[in-house]
Amino acid sequence: MNRSIIKLGCIATMLFLSTAIKAEDKSSFDYHLKAKKVSENVYCFFGTLESISKENGGNMVNSCYVKTKKGFVVIDSGATFSYAKQAYAEMKKIANLPVKYVINTHDHDDHWLGNSFYKSKGAILIASKTCEENMVLGMKTRMEKVLGKVLFGQTKTVKIDKIVDDNLTLNLGEEKFEIAQPISVAHTKGDLIIYLPSKKVLFVGDLLFNGRLTSLRDGSILGSLEALDVIDSYHAKNIIGGHGYETDENATAEFRQYLLEIKKQVLKAQDEDVGMEKITDKVKMPYFKKNKLYDELHNRNVLDAYKELEMMEDDEE
């Protein structure tokens, strides 16, 4: 065979391997995950208070782990296959145990796209019926659209194994997990909370934000306030939300204040016949500008609250 042809073939192979390695490097986004201990045998990876971006790899959610004698239980698996893989590698430094269950608090994709990694390791996936219905197999998710195929990597939507219709008690090792859907519509139509009575630790997903604003686009301001009442009724020692770093018993205080203030000001504006086209000029609430994503989310929250509260008033007439 002509030596020049062999040489060209070798060069082509080297270029192919180089491209493949670079692609693999990009898909193996380094999340720099460090587990923070919240309570005995309870650990969380706290996401950044930002929107999804290629720069953060979608790492903007709190993913938590509970260690039991028989294995880990994960609450919200995170943004990608790679995220979950790296998170589990960190957890194995604490204890070389399998992940037995993954509980998804709701259907927003930043919370559950790590499911595919844990499923590949034999974990049982748990979610509400509505959450399961919105995890459409083969559907292109928001995360994939923002991150692109390379960073999204091996991530895919996988089938849920166990549905929580109303409530479910899960026992693993010495730990009891009380799983419930407190309100029919709050942040979404299928929010779950998980309570550990032995530790007085409560995981509430996106029923609680602190340090950044929520989004009311798929939920209800009235339902969200009702859910906060349920959360506070547990008198938990630690309350862990889906976004934000506060986890003590007072973690709901500022979020409740934000929702109550929107409700109060929107109702007042409606009484003064302020129309939807001017409501965001009327309800600014500058005190909350210190929260991350205020500019991106506040006006939309006001509009969503206006539509819901206006409908409530129409129903009462």
**Domain at 110, CATH number:** 3.60.15.10
d(CA 48, CA 230): 27
Domain assignment present for residue 216? The answer is yes
Per-residue pLDDT, 12: 45
Total count of domains within the chain: 1
- pTM equals 0.90
Domain assignment present for residue 313? The answer is no
d(CA 115, CA 79): 9
Domain assignment present for residue 4? The answer is no
Per-residue pLDDT, 6: 45
Domain assignment present for residue 106? The answer is yes
CB atoms within 10 A of CB 108: 24
Cα separation values, 155 from 96, 100, 236, Å: 24, 20, 34
| Domain range enclosing 103 | 31-256
Strand ranges across the sheet with 124-128:
36-39, 42-45, 63-68, 71-75, 99-103, 124-128, 162-164
Domain assignment present for residue 56? The answer is yes
pLDDT tens-digit profile, the chain (317 residues): 455 544 444 444 444 434 443 444 445 799 999 999 999 999 999 999 999 999 999 999 999 999 999 999 999 999 999 999 999 999 999 999 999 999 999 999 999 999 999 999 999 999 999 999 999 998 899 999 999 999 999 999 999 999 998 899 999 999 999 999 999 999 999 999 999 999 999 999 999 999 999 999 999 999 999 999 999 999 999 999 999 999 999 999 999 999 999 999 999 999 999 999 999 999 999 999 999 999 999 999 999 999 999 987 655 55
Closest to 81 measured CA to CA, from 23, 141, 166, 153: 153
Domain assignment present for residue 271? The answer is no
d(CA 108, CA 70): 29
Contact 39, 201 (CB under 8 A): yes
Domain assignment present for residue 23? The answer is no
Domain assignment present for residue 261? The answer is no
